[in-house]
Amino acid sequence: MRFALALGLTLYCLLGTAHAQDRTDSHLESDLSDTALAQELANPIANLTSVPFQNNFDFGGGRGNAFRYTLNVQPVIPFTLNDDWNLITRTIVPFAHVERVFPQPETGISDIVQSFFLSPARPVNGITWGAGPIFLYPSASNDFIGSGQWGAGPTGVVLKQSGGWLYGILANHLWAVGGVPHLPSGTLPLLEVPNSGIADPGFVKTTPGNRRRERVNATLIQPFLTYTFPTQTTPFLSTETIYDWSSRQSIVPISVGVNQLVFIGGQLLQVGGLMRYFAETPRGGPNWGFQFRVTLVFPHGS
């Protein structure tokens, strides 16, 4: 069931990307200049198909100097509904590996999160917004690195572009839908850390004798600030604050990084990375980390 769900959503992302690519002639024929295109990539709800591969490395906490690796495959696929409205889908498919957090190293697909944004086709006075539902799918192939819960809630984003600057805020809230599973049998009481790294809303409950997970009830607030130079270089500053209302804990990573738009072998790419410091984290959570990313870009033809 979990494998079929993960496979189905992955195929959806790939087919959506292929559909968008069919509508693309060449990045040189795009109605966006390269600089404008680089800036659009900083827009979470741009009318632009992209497939980021985000390699996250996080260190600290756990049972002592823990290590967490998460590859987030995060396709963004827009659909034109009519002349006035677009529907943008953002799907996060995480592949996680953790060491010194659980009794033994654990690896697998974690829970998939998918957002849908209904957004006006054109900004007003440089302001763009989008809103819709967000869903959490219990697709984890390993019980240790997933919440084991279905979830749903609202999500929204508002941003403004002014010259080379782009700044805004993205937010969502997830509530569990249905029952809450117990921890896997044989699991020792764990430190209070997210099940699959920095972005999973399911925290582990450490009450003695209680192996039930916390119910998903989490808010994410993500302000961001970017500036795009004429060289298509985009430095950025952001944070992804998650507050878990069930455990009354928060995790606050602050990230600083840079992206660069390039054209390699007939494919438009954005490459970049970031450094991350955790200003606040649950007991046993990570202390610092970094990310390398490569984004496949498919601009729409005129």
pLDDT tens digit string along 6-39? 445 555 554 444 444 444 444 334 445 788 899 9
Q: Is 53 helix (H, G, I), strand (E, B) or coil?
A: strand
pLDDT of residue 179: 81
301 DSSP 8-state letter: B
Distance CA 202, CA 194 (A): 6
Please state the rounded mean pLDDT for residues 107-125.
93
Statement: residue 61 has pLDDT above 90? no
Residues 6 or more apart from 16 whose CB is under 8 A from it?
Answer: 49, 75, 77, 89
61: left (phi > 0), else alpha (psi -120 to 50), else beta?
Answer: left
Strand partners, 49: 298
Mean pLDDT of the chain: 82
* Domains defined for the chain, CATH in brackets: 2-298 (2.40.160.40)
Mean pLDDT computed over 254-274: 95
Cβ distance 152 to 135 under 8 Å?
Answer: yes
Dihedral over alpha carbons 74, 196, 9, 87 (to 10 degrees):
-50
pLDDT digits (tens, 9 = 90+) for 176-233: 998 887 766 544 433 333 333 343 434 444 444 455 678 899 999 999 999 999 999 9
Write down the pLDDT at residue 136.
Answer: 95
